[in-house]
Amino acid sequence: MHFSYRRAAAALLLAFALAPVAGSAAAGGTTLSPANVADISISFDHLLKNFYKPVNQQQVLNGTRASLLASLKKIGVHGNLPVLHAGSNTTLELSQIDHEIEAAAHQTHGKLSVNTLSYAALSGMMQSVHDRWTVFLDPKDFSQLNQALDGVNFGGTGIVIQKDTKTKFIEVTSVIPHAPADKAGIRQGDLITAVNGASTRRMTIQEASKHLRGKIGTTVTLTIQRDGKLLAPIIITRAKIHAVSVYSRMLPHKIGYVELSVFGETTGHELAVALAQLQKEGARAIILDLRDNGGGYLQAALSVSSKFISSGPIVSIESRGSNVTTLEANDTAISPPLPLAVLVNGNTASASEITSGAIQDTGVGVIIGTKTFGKGVVQTIYRLPGKSAVKITTARYLTPLGRYINHRGIIPDIVVHENKHPRYGQPAHDAQLRRAMQYLEDRLAHSA
């Protein structure tokens, strides 16, 4: 794990609803497996019933057929598939889709499996509603999305690192609480001058990370320079590390800095731990960095927002038929409340915008940076038997003041454009961060 921790999480706002089905899709032959049939049926049903706008069934059938024809065309087969017809009987429509897939498989003469064509049909089905967020996820895509949101486990020491521009050594920018490095006494700001006797002066971040990671139970020896003095070599036993989504450290003037890479399953808990540690260290104000954070779970957005908003609405969810559900703060706000600045940019999206919008509307903090992405719709993921899934837009959300920000984004209270070649989280190379620090320092000076 290293300081370039901003995962390209295509993770958008997701409220998981998991269909309790099991099994696997069998490939081979021209007959759909029971799992394939279930995939088609479950996906079709959810799209018709749960998409946040009314769905034209003929349009869905046309999209399914078009995707199958496109798959045949890619392998040089000019398919002749019958036109699908919508009616009042969903069972007959599903039967038509099943026969269409099997007919396409027969025409490929073994070049494409019925499983592959089943995936093509599902993809066309989702694309038919012309919503960029409503998509089919094959097993690989679904697994990658889960990893992006929930992180992965690996053998390591539990530190976040970056290259120190002055000394060219590796600098410790954050230490995961209770991880091996934390237990061994490694601190934020330490310089790692050598790993297992090898100097880090010419190591890249990637090379250093590779040295720090390793099999659980093995050891690594770090040579540490602290406050200009070399310490005795420290031997650390690697343990299982869960990739975290919250990174924190103290900036000058006792300003706590917390960066969220994604709104994952454990983000709310990680943030609570980080804020508690910063408060323990005497933080007088907080900077919440949501730049390049593409979102994640709705529940995580609620949990994160609740750390700063003590009570009242966080977000309202409007589903099909104008049914509105308002979610309120869960009484977990930090106490006492601290001056707050939130950093955002054009890649701040979805769950990040829920949090930014709630903080802006309630006035508990100031938003700094550039206009956010503007994704104001909610997706639900439905697992399918063959370890795949469909992600369907099921609702739109509104901020506490009733703002609908889809395609509009959130305009910061203080607009600050990004400097050239920024290094997020490093005040000397991050104009937006410097402005946030200045704002908070002014707030603290006036309240003194």
19 belongs to a structural domain: no
Task: Give me the domain span that covers residue 190.
Answer: 153-242
Q: Looking at the structure, tell me whether residues 235 and 98 fall in a common domain.
A: no
For residue 365, the SS3 value is: coil
145 belongs to a structural domain: no
Query: Going by C-beta distance under 8 Å and a sequence separation of 6 or more, which residues neighbour residue 179?
Result: 156, 157, 158, 159, 239, 241
DSSP letter at 395 equals E
Write down the catalytic residue from 71, 123, 150, 375: 375
**According to the model, what pLDDT value does residue 8 have?**
30
Q: Looking at 138, 166, 201, which one is the last position of a domain?
A: 138
Q: Looking at the structure, tell me whether residues 227 and 264 fall in a common domain.
A: no
**According to the model, what pLDDT value does residue 16 have?**
35
Q: Looking at the structure, tell me whether residues 118 and 262 fall in a common domain.
A: no
29 belongs to a structural domain: no
CB-CB neighbours of 195 under 10 Å: 20
Q: Looking at the structure, tell me whether residues 71 and 114 fall in a common domain.
A: yes
**According to the model, what pLDDT value does residue 20 have?**
34
Rounded to 10 degrees, the C-alpha dihedral 374/422/365/367 comes to -40
Has this prediction a pTM greater than 0.85? no
Q: Looking at 227, 242, 257, which one is the last position of a domain?
A: 242
**According to the model, what pLDDT value does residue 152 have?**
81
**According to the model, what pLDDT value does residue 3 have?**
32
**According to the model, what pLDDT value does residue 150 have?**
85
Catalytic residue list contains 388 = no
Average pLDDT per block of 10 residues along the chain, 448 residues long: 32 36 46 95 97 96 97 92 93 96 94 96 98 96 89 89 89 88 93 96 91 95 95 96 90 96 94 96 97 96 98 96 93 96 97 98 98 96 94 97 96 96 90 98 89
24 belongs to a structural domain: no
3 belongs to a structural domain: no
Catalytic residue list contains 361 = yes
Provide the domain count of the chain. Answer: 3
Q: Looking at the structure, tell me whether residues 204 and 310 fall in a common domain.
A: no
Q: Looking at the structure, tell me whether residues 287 and 418 fall in a common domain.
A: yes
Residue with tokens 């880090």: 200
CA dist 92 and 86 (Å) reads 9
13 belongs to a structural domain: no
Write down the catalytic residue from 123, 209, 350, 352: 350
Q: Looking at the structure, tell me whether residues 66 and 187 fall in a common domain.
A: no
Q: Looking at the structure, tell me whether residues 157 and 272 fall in a common domain.
A: no
**According to the model, what pLDDT value does residue 92 have?**
95
Q: Looking at the structure, tell me whether residues 300 and 438 fall in a common domain.
A: yes
Q: Looking at the structure, tell me whether residues 201 and 293 fall in a common domain.
A: no
- Give exposure, 209-241, as e/b (b: 16+ Cβ within 10 Å): bebbbeeeeeebebbbbeeeeeeeebebebbeb
For every residue of 324-340, DSSP letters joined together read EEEEE--S---SS---E
Q: Looking at 242, 261, 280, which one is the last position of a domain?
A: 242
**According to the model, what pLDDT value does residue 44 have?**
98
CA dist 448 and 446 (Å) reads 6
Write down the catalytic residue from 128, 361, 388, 391: 361
Q: Looking at the structure, tell me whether residues 417 and 305 fall in a common domain.
A: yes
Catalytic residue list contains 71 = no
76 belongs to a structural domain: yes
Q: Looking at the structure, tell me whether residues 351 and 218 fall in a common domain.
A: no
DSSP letter at 242 equals E
Query: Going by C-beta distance under 8 Å and a sequence separation of 6 or more, which residues neighbour residue 441?
Result: 253, 255
